[in-house]
Amino acid sequence: MISQNKTQPTSSSTDEYLQTIESEARKNDAYKLAAIMKEVTDTEPQMWGTSIVGYGKHHYKYETGREGDTVAVGFSSRKAAFTIYGLFHYEENEENIELAQRLGTHTHGKGCVYIKSLDVINLEILKQMISNAYSARND
């Protein structure tokens, strides 16, 4: 059973999305994060839905039979923090769970990392986490 993820790739401009970020500090961080992800993945960004800047594509399939496509790695500027997608996914990224302990001020969920500012994290650790996740997830 293929059940498509609601968030699909679009032809929208990533730059137009980044320009909508109201806070100048947050906008600057978003451009820096976009540049880091482009450098690490060697991939051009693509908008997924209206608010996710994605790099690469990952096809997932759950034991239930549900499957679909999502970003390999990506980010979005949300109200409270940046959401960085794809950095944690079960056994695929055990190294990232260990790296997160040295990342700096953040929170995380099952698959995402949440950061308020790039100033409070170790960018070299973040780059390694992005690289690990992208290598494990890009189809």
Find residue 9's DSSP bridge partners: 48
Q: What is the pLDDT of residue 76?
A: 97
Write out pLDDT tens, residues 58-85.
Answer: 988 888 888 888 899 999 999 899 999 9
Across 33-54, average pLDDT: 97
pTM beyond 0.95, yes or no: no
Six-digit token pair at 81? 């923090």
Locate the domains of the chain by residue range.
14-137
Percent helix, strand and coil across the chain, each to the nearest 5 = 40, 25, 35
Q: What is the pLDDT of residue 2?
A: 47
Write out pLDDT tens, residues 25-39.
Answer: 999 999 999 999 999
Question: What does CATH list as the number for 14-137?
Answer: 3.90.1150.200
